[in-house]
Amino acid sequence: MAGFSFDLSGRIALVTGASSGFGARFARQLAASGAKVALGARRVGLLDDLADEIAGSGGEALAVEMDVSSEASVIAAYDRIEEEFGTPDSIIANAGMNVEGAATELALEEFERLMGVNLTGVFLTVREGARRLMAAGSRDRGQGRIVIVSSITANAVEPGLAAYSATKAAVQQMGKVLARDWVRQGINVNSICPGYARTEINSDWFDTEAGQKHMAGFPRRRLMAEDSLDAMLLYLASDASAAITGSSFTVDDGQSL
């Protein structure tokens, strides 16, 4: 395809949950592809270290304290990004968490905390991003890209993950509806549904005997490689995906088969 490229030069990206796991890797890949990257999370010390690493590799990154479950924090973070870089046009709503334990033992406070990060946090992140994109003229430029990180648990039954799976199914469907709402505003909204890779959120689990049995139940009996999402992320964040909106992409090394 003529002109096909994942080059993100001139783009401004925001990655939430950038202090570890997929978020930190996404930030590195976006920066390596030419974007200025805003790193959003609550653990600012880790963000500062990542920003220094990206700068040391020739990229541009900005550490921004951001609690996605707080509207005031989200707005303040966008204000800071606009002051330093400009309006983000590749927004990666990645921040997420899980609470271990059976649903019968899950305290309401923990359930609400999970919803606050995984569902409300995604809504606040993408809503504020869309508002600012529209104000900056996204309808004419057509370069708005929003990528929501869902999970294979949005569509597959995983025992013990009722609340977590509900949030991931919700943000996947929310992304489709927002794609329709904003389709004439120059903003594409898509979701990635990753399978299991070793990250901070699950590394302890996969080191247990039960976790090893879980992994052995995957068709390829393994976790995904850490680079498995790179190409899909860059595609959806770039001009290459101009014709793709309202879609959800499963990238799981066949784990959900």
Q: Which residues form the catalytic set?
A: 164
Q: Which two tokens stand for residue 16?
A: 């939430």
Distance, CA of 12 to CA of 34 (rounded, Å): 9
